A and B are shown apart, each in its own frame.
Chain A
C-alpha cells in the first residue's frame, strides 16, 4: 500500500537548519508529483511547493523561496525539505503529500519543527 513516512520531530534554535524527509513506498515515486504543506500551531493548511519527481524541478509558493529548499533522492524514493536560518515563526507541522489526478491523495504523518531559544 502507498505510504509516506516522515522523519521525527525536531527542536532547533533560531538560526539553525533542519531537514525533513518523506520516504515513500508502495508506488512508483516518479509517477506522482510531491507537495509540501505547512500548518502552524492552531492555524490552517498552507501550500508551500510542489516538485516534479521526474525532473526535480520545484515550484514554490510566495513566501517559501530563499530559506526553503525542496529536493529529491529518487534512488531511495524520498523527498526532502530543508529550512535554513530558522525563525520562531517557522514552528509548524510540515506535511508531504502525493499529488494524483485531482489533488493530494496520500499524506505523510507530519513532522513538527519547533524553533525556540
Chain B
C-alpha cells in the first residue's frame, strides 16, 4: 500500500485558515468515507481530530473540519492558534489495511 500524498509543509498566521490536502486513489481515499486526521505535537502520541472524513471527536474544537472530493481529502483549520503548530497526518482504510499520509508540518507564523 502506497502512502497517501500530503504537502510537506503549510503555514499561516494566527487567525487565518489553512487547508491540508491528502491525495490517494479510488482504492483508498476515494473508495469510502473512512478517512481520519491526526495531530501530533513533538514527542507526543498522535491524537485523532477528524474521523469518517468530517466527524469531530468530542473535545476537538470546531475550528477543525474535514471534507473529501473524489480521491482527495482535506483538513481545514480556521482561526489558527499558536497551539495548532504540529504535524498532521491523514489515514485511510484500504480494505483490511490502513495507510497514512506522509505528514504535513503546520507552522503558525
* Chain A interface residues toward B at CB < 8 A: 35, 37, 44-47, 50, 59, 61-62, 95, 97, 101-105, 107-110
* Chain B interface residues toward A at CB < 8 A: 1, 3, 34, 36, 38, 40, 45-48, 51-52, 55, 57, 87, 89, 91, 96-103
Q: Given the known A-B contacts A44-B100, A45-B100, are A95 and B51 also in contact in the complex, defined by CB atoms under 8 Å?
A: no
Knowing that A44-B103, A47-B99, A95-B46 touch, tell me 15 more A-B residue pairs with CB under 8 angstroms: A37-B46, A45-B46, A46-B100, A47-B97, A47-B98, A59-B96, A61-B1, A62-B1, A102-B36, A102-B52, A104-B38, A104-B46, A104-B48, A107-B45, A110-B45
B45 and A95 contacting across the interface, CB-CB below 8 Å: yes
**Nearest-CB distance from A27 to chain B (Å)?**
15
Alpha-carbon separation in the docked complex, A95 to B87 (Å):
16
Alpha-carbon separation in the docked complex, A61 to B48 (Å):
21
Q: Give A95's nearest chain B residue, CB to CB.
A: B45
